[in-house]
Amino acid sequence: MLYVPATGHYMRGVFRDFWDRNGGLDNFGYPITEEYIDPASGRVIQYFERARFERASPEATTVELGMLGREALGDRTFPRAQPIANSATRRYFSETGQIVQYGFKEIWETRGGLAIFGLPLSGEITETTDDGEARTVQYFERARFEYHPQLPPGRRVLLSVLGRRFAPPELTAPLAPNAPPPGPLTITPEQASNEEEDADDSGLVRQLVPPAVNGTMNPLAGSPGQTFAFAPTAGYNAGETVSVWANPTGGTPVFVGRFRADNEGAIAPVFFTPPASAQLGEWAIVAEGNTSKRQAIGYFLLISGPIGRIAAAPTPPPPTPGPPVPANVNATVAPRSGPPGTVFFFNASGVQ
């Protein structure tokens, strides 16, 4: 089992093995939910930033990847291209009538091919990506490739974060590093939504942060000592100085640095690591052009403690031991005990 501080979720068992052996962070990104059982199919599902892992049951060991690229396209279809002779730089897929070429072809062939990405569903097209920029993209059954010309050679093809688009938001709240669920969650997204409506203080709900302005923030929540990355989009004056500050809500701004915009008006990604003494709560990284006054703002939530809660209070004294806990009946509970505020996971069996 592995805890991922960047998103506050765990990887375990066959899903972790598959992640490790098939491209890891570059292909799939970080986990953004825990494993959970889909009530309609009984399948075990876990979302990652760029993929959805699935297996047929909790006991199954074969991992399948969800068709996120096909789902992202919805009803959109594309005309078939005229067949071409395959070469070192271009490849025609007769199954779907699409051509994959150049950098997209290299990534497809060297990082998993058909098993990881599936067949191409489109040719190269222009779309607005999550950072607000118009980019060349191509859809595959399980992924979407993006071309980022501003990045260094060899790193210009990225996979879209389609997992973030489809993951149930109520299951993305980060967990504490010492509180792994005992197994796949049986709570469904619908049940979680109902509980949020009925409860004033749901332990599974993370405080939301505003969407980034003229940039992309990653991760959206984390703890002091963790590094946050903010990538402003191009739009500054060529060659101008861009000053960057990290601002806690109601607190004292922290100067991060000055960056020089390139000829395309872009600056390098900004990295910021809040110290252990940093104020908890909402932060904003602001990158402002000194002459253009253009601002890019990325928001994140600095947390410490159990799921979604901001632990600003001192650590309470150890609880007084209570009466013995009776044996479970057709169910499991983890942990077996804990102070007020502890999140307990309950799994029942045999219910009809």
> In the 3-class helix/strand/coil scheme, how is the chain assigned residue by residue?
CEEECCCCEEECHHHHHHHHHCCHHHHHCCECCCCEECCCCCCEEEEECCEEEEECCCCCCCCEECCHHHHHHCCCCCCCCCCCCCCCCEEEECCCCEEEEHHHHHHHHHCCHHHHHCCECCCCEEEECCCCCEEEEEEECCCEEEECCCCCCCCCEEECCHHHHHCCHHHCCCCCCCCCCCCCECCCHHHHHHHHHHCCCCCCCCCCCCCCECEEEECCEECCCCCEEEEECCCCCCCCEEEEEEEECCCCCEEEEEEECCCCCCCCCEEECCCCCCCCEEEEEEEEECCCCCEEEEEEEECECCCCCECCCCCCCCCCCCCCCCCCCCEEEECCCCCCCCCCEEEECCCC
Average pLDDT score over residue span 310-333: 59
Rounded CA separation 158/49 (Å): 12
Range of the domain at 25: 2-66+168-198
Residues 59, 183: one domain?
yes
Domain end call among 264, 285, 302? 302
Beta bridge partners of 304: 310
Domain end call among 148, 164, 180? 164
Higher pLDDT, 211 or 18: 18
Distant-in-sequence, close-in-space partners of 46: CB < 8 Å, separation ≥ 6:
11, 15, 31, 33, 34, 35, 36, 52, 53
Residues 88, 7: one domain?
no
Residues 240, 122: one domain?
no
Q: Look at the chain and report how many structural domains it folds into.
A: 3
Output the domain CATH number for residue 271.
Answer: 2.60.40.1930
What confidence score (pLDDT) does residue 123 get? 97
Residue 85 falls within a domain, yes or no? yes
pLDDT-derived band at 190, boundaries 50, 70, 90: low
Average pLDDT score over residue span 162-177: 89
Would the pLDDT of 311 be above 70? no
What confidence score (pLDDT) does residue 202 get? 37
Average pLDDT score over residue span 53-70: 95
Q: Which long-range contacts (CB under 8 A, 24 or more apart) does 125-129 make?
A: 125/78, 129/160
Higher pLDDT, 321 or 128: 128
Residue 191 falls within a domain, yes or no? yes
Residues 223, 172: one domain?
no
Lowest mean pLDDT among 135-139, 283-287, 334-338: 334-338
Residues 192, 261: one domain?
no
Would the pLDDT of 14 be above 50? yes
Higher pLDDT, 253 or 225: 253
pLDDT-derived band at 284, boundaries 50, 70, 90: very high
Q: What is the pLDDT of residues 199-230, one digit of tens each?
A: 343 333 344 578 889 988 877 777 787 778 88
Residues 77, 141: one domain?
yes
Residues 242, 109: one domain?
no
In terms of average pLDDT, the best of 3-7, 93-97, 327-331 is 93-97
Lowest mean pLDDT among 51-65, 283-297, 304-318: 304-318
State the average pLDDT for the chain: 84
Average pLDDT score over residue span 117-121: 98
pLDDT-derived band at 166, boundaries 50, 70, 90: very high
Residues 99, 178: one domain?
no
Residue 228 falls within a domain, yes or no? yes
Would the pLDDT of 8 be above 60? yes
Residues 95, 139: one domain?
yes
Would the pLDDT of 276 be above 80? yes
pLDDT-derived band at 197, boundaries 50, 70, 90: very low
CA distances in angstroms from 273 to 13, 224, 283, 305, listed in the order given: 31, 7, 12, 18
As given in the structure block, the two tokens for residue 347 are 């799994």
Percent share of the chain, pLDDT over 90:
54
Residues 183, 255: one domain?
no
